[in-house]
């Protein structure tokens, strides 16, 4: 399967396209002919862009962490986003993994804190309060 979004012959037929060809293309396409065709297409018009890039199939990481797993925060960690509480220390609190945000529309993204964890804490005068915090894998342990 080719990683190109279109062939060089099809590019010649499409005069209203600007074409960008990646030099890191790993497919069997002829880079020099596509570059020449791209130059001709760029001269014709600059309305659409087609890129020849390697398709990366994002597959979820095979980890033991599942959505719904109970976790306990093992590092000193303070959050400031819970309403009407200035500072809340999450150290030792238990929560539930609700979402893995390292994938978006089937593609891997560079989320620094990929695990969305829901916590429930009792606040004096308010009762139980649910809130979320985004954590890294090394900041919590499975319960």
Q: Domain residue spans in the chain?
A: 8-52, 70-142
CA torsion angle 34 40 45 47 (round to 10): 10
Residues 47 and 18 sit within 8 Å (Cβ to Cβ):
yes
CB under 8 Å to 78, separation ≥6 — which residues? 87, 88, 89, 90
Cα–Cα distance, 69 to 116 (Å, whole number): 11
Q: 99 versus 42: which is more confidently predicted?
A: 99
Q: What does the pLDDT read at residue 99? A: 94
Q: 135 versus 49: which is more confidently predicted?
A: 135
Q: 40 versus 119: which is more confidently predicted?
A: 119
Supply the CATH classification number for the domain 70-142.
Answer: 2.30.30.50
Cα–Cα distance, 17 to 12 (Å, whole number): 10
**Per the confidence metrics, is the pTM higher than 0.75?**
no
Strands 94-100 and 48-52: unpaired
Q: 140 versus 53: which is more confidently predicted?
A: 140
Could you report the per-residue pLDDT of 81-97, keeping only the tens digit for each? 988 788 999 999 999 99
């Amino acid at each position: 399967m080719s990683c190109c979004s279109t062939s060089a012959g099809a590019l010649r037929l499409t005069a209203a396209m600007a074409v960008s060809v990646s030099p890191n293309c790993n497919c069997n396409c002829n880079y020099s002919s596509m570059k020449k065709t791209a130059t001709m297409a760029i001269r014709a018009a600059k309305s659409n862009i087609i890129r020849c890039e390697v398709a990366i199939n994002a597959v979820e990481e095979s980890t033991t962490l599942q959505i719904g797993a109970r976790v306990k925060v093992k590092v000193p960690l303070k959050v400031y986003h819970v309403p009407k509480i200035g500072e809340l220390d999450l150290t030792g609190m238990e929560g539930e993994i609700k979402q893995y945000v390292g994938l978006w529309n089937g593609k891997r993204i560079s989320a620094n804190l990929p695990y969305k964890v829901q916590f429930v804490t009792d606040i004096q005068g308010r009762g139980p309060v649910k809130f979320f915090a985004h954590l890294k894998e090394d900041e919590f342990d499975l319960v």
